Structure 1
Amino acid sequence: MTPKLPRPGRTRSLLLLLLAEIGAMSLWFVSAAILPELTREAQIGPWRAGLLSTAVQLGFVLGAVALALHGTSDRFDPRRVFAASALVASAATMGLLVTPPGGIVQILLRGLTGLCLAGVYPVGMKIAVGWTLRRRGLVVGLLVAALTLGSAAPHGLALLGGADWRITVTLAALLSALAAGLVLMARLGPHHATAPRFDPATLRLAWTDRPLRLAYAGYLCHMWELYAFWAWIGVALTASLTLSGAVDPATTARLTTFVAIGLGGLVCVPAGALADRIGKARVAGAAMGLSGAFALATAAAFGGPPALIIALVIGWGICVIPDSAQFSALVADHAPADRAGSLMTFQTALGFLLTAFTIQTAPLLAAAIGWPVTLAVFGIGPLLGVEAMRRLHRLSRSTAHHH
């Protein structure tokens, strides 16, 4: 076990980890950010457009399950796993520059990127929780904030790249390569420990243990909305601004998407600190209630005054993510200590498998029934999740009272 480091060592290592997380996760939504330019160049239809983003989600699910089965981050130094994953993902992204836009090779390269990012996000979480036991809500909140800022980054890079999508791709790939170097400079915390290999029997607990079942239910309701929002809100907002006659709708939508996702990431930090004080289920439930309300309001305001729709999208972006960290922390709190890693990995894999469905169907649904109804459908998940969190909070209070 690593000896306990003084506070500066912890702060420096966590800062390096967070910067590395932002850099590597900037690859996630590259294809969504450059879609307008790709479509103009190659006339990509809704199905292919969906596949470019869906491939990342499916790759991530495969990667997460494979890493869990192999116990990779427990057998090897997790910093090296993170760095190797970030480098391969960077190379796969650079491959987009020399392959036909929207073609099968690009879709496969996006799948490989998702596969590698499974060695970034869950592994980063493992490194982060090694630094604390009592402040896990805050530390995981910081990591999700970094993931969110990384997810927003391609929209910002696309503003820098302008009409040339290849600049956006190159900048994101370079950020991921830089991330590999940064994470190797971090140190492991005093609570870093190896966990057992993935045990399929553990998965039964996700159904038979009521607190875990409710934590899983809340997470799946949250994931129903989250990545569909992140992947498609820029496209939906462009459509709304075009309908209302706004000037340069694509650039405005891109900037708004960057701000909305980025601010949501920043809110994860105070939300995590609050969750450690008043309860993770309470914070998660409140965030989902607000997020679902913003989804319905955005749907109702679609095509209306540009200032209103922009404000609603930013509000939605702020509320859509702060609950995310708390679902992992809730599983860690309620699972047996020696099985928490496997249960968190399985939870993540199920959630991202669901996002593959929602990301792929969103543009098809929008083409069939329009963006307003599609955006309202996004809001169904979090509104159902509020009830799961209400029950979990009541159960936790009842258990604490009996003890």
Structure 2
Amino acid sequence: MNRKGIILTIIVLAQFCCTSLWFASNGVMSDLLLNFNLDANALGYLTSAVQFGFILGTLSFAILTIADRFAPSKVFVICALLGALFNTLLIRPNNNLLLLILFRFLTGFCLAGIYPVGMKIASDYFDKGLGISLSFLVGALVLGTAFPHILSEILPQANWEHVITATSIIAVFGGFSMVILVPNGPYRIAAKRFDTNAFSKVFNNRPFRAAALGYFGHMWELYAFWTFVPLMLEFYNAIHTNSNLVVSLWSFLIIGIGGLACVIGGYISRKIGAKQTAFIFLLLSCICCLLSPLIFSISNPILFLLFLLFWGCVVIADSPLFSTLVAQNAEKKSKGTALTIVNCIGFSITIVSIMIINSLIGNWNTQFLFIILAVGPVLGLIGLRHNT
């Protein structure tokens, strides 16, 4: 393996280790609620707190151009250490709901210095072949977010505090791996001073704007799909008496297969280009949204699961490709800011789509609920073509 291959492996490993903080509490949520005598609706508050923290964090990092003014590996390790600290504070014996929400929010804020900054570090090392590099990174994110669930399964005798502690320890390991083994990349151009216009002027570039609009449309669908996969499976079980799908297992597989799809998409982009590959995946996921009312009528559960597995692939495979286009079309000195602000807006959009679908549950027929997810891909496809 050459030096760049070793560097990419370290970046991917560090990204995987540190993004395990994202859903650390979700992996032990039932124990967390029981231990602190919390109501079931605390689940939504604790999950949303991380997303809001990430959004505010990316907004702050973008406005202050943190990833461009300072060595990104140092930003990464500081955020990894702080994120691990706030994650560990979940096991304090006297916690209440407010404190748990605060610790989850602060963990999400720190993730703003991990996920987009990890992509910035990769873009500093890879000019050509950036698409495949970011595909591995987003794949690491998918696996990292699922890791707490796996950890709680493979450590059946461990209590929930051990799971939380383990995710914090590997995050520390990931942070130190990045700062010790990954120096500044050859394509990094540091911003010399704080640029008050950097936040807004990144969108003046038309190809950049096209990539960003495609990414925003993709994000409208992505996290809402991931959130409501269990609901889809439960609804299918309810309307087909012969079906007894294990919701937790198939939810993990449908979401987790996206990590492999990201890598495959990266290799495809080498042949036909990142933009064309991203467009195809976004179009395919849009078609899945439009076909969603029909899939619940499929009486064969194997065909139903194959459709959801396919949807789980195409819904995420374009994400690293849009990030590649964003990085390639941003000014070199503001690349970190560009990646961060696009992440900020994208994750803000996820909350809107999730809340809209959540508010319609019980008021709309569940069979037709997920057509709404097509809105984002349709607008993303239009924006991607119109601004090219």
Partner of 2:314: 319
State the AA in 1 paired with 2:176: G
**Runs of 5+ consecutive residues of structure 1 not aligned to the other structure:** 1-6, 396-403
Aligned partners of 2:369, 2:163: CA distance in 1, in Å?
Answer: 28
Partner of 2:218: 222
Query: Higher mean Cα deviation, 175-184 or 10-19?
Result: 175-184
Decide whether the 8 Å contact of 1:51 with 1:360 is kept in 2: no
Equivalences for 1:94-113 in 2 at 5 Å? 94-98=88-92, 103-113=97-107
Partner of 1:400: none
Partner of 2:168: 173
Equivalences for 1:183-262 in 2 at 5 Å? 183-188=178-183, 189-197=185-193, 199-205=195-201, 207-241=203-237, 244=240, 252-262=246-256
Partner of 1:301: 295
Q: How does the TM-score come out when normalised to structure 2?
A: 0.86
Decide whether the 8 Å contact of 2:117 with 2:336 is kept in 1: no
Partner of 1:385: 380
Per-residue CA shift, 1:121-173, capped at 9, x if unaligned? 11111211122211111212221121122123233234335696555434433
Equivalences for 1:272-287 in 2 at 5 Å? 272-287=266-281
Q: How does the TM-score come out when normalised to structure 1?
A: 0.83
> Does 1:351 find its partner at 2:318?
no
Equivalences for 1:16-27 in 2 at 5 Å? 16-27=10-21
State the AA in 2 paired with 1:107: I
> Does 1:310 find its partner at 2:305?
yes
Q: Among residues 105, 114, 121, which one is paired with 2:115 in the alignment? A: 121
Partner of 1:401: none
Q: Among residues 47, 50, 57, which one is paired with 1:56 in the alignment? A: 50
Decide whether the 8 Å contact of 1:148 with 1:264 is kept in 2: yes
Query: Percent of aligned positions with the same letter in both sequences?
Result: 32
> Does 1:146 find its partner at 2:140?
yes
Partner of 1:88: 82
**Runs of 5+ consecutive residues of structure 2 not aligned to the other structure:** none
Aligned partners of 2:235, 2:155: CA distance in 1, in Å?
Answer: 22
State the AA in 2 paired with 1:390: R
Partner of 1:3: none
Q: Secondary structure at the match of 1:338?
A: helix
Query: Higher mean Cα deviation, 298-307 or 90-99?
Result: 298-307
Deviation at 1:248, TM superposition (A): 7.3
Aligned partners of 1:310, 1:327: CA distance in 2, in Å?
Answer: 27
Decide whether the 8 Å contact of 1:156 with 1:255 is kept in 2: no
State the AA in 2 paired with 1:194: A
Rate the CA distance shift 1:258–1:353 in 2: closer, same or farther, 3 A: same
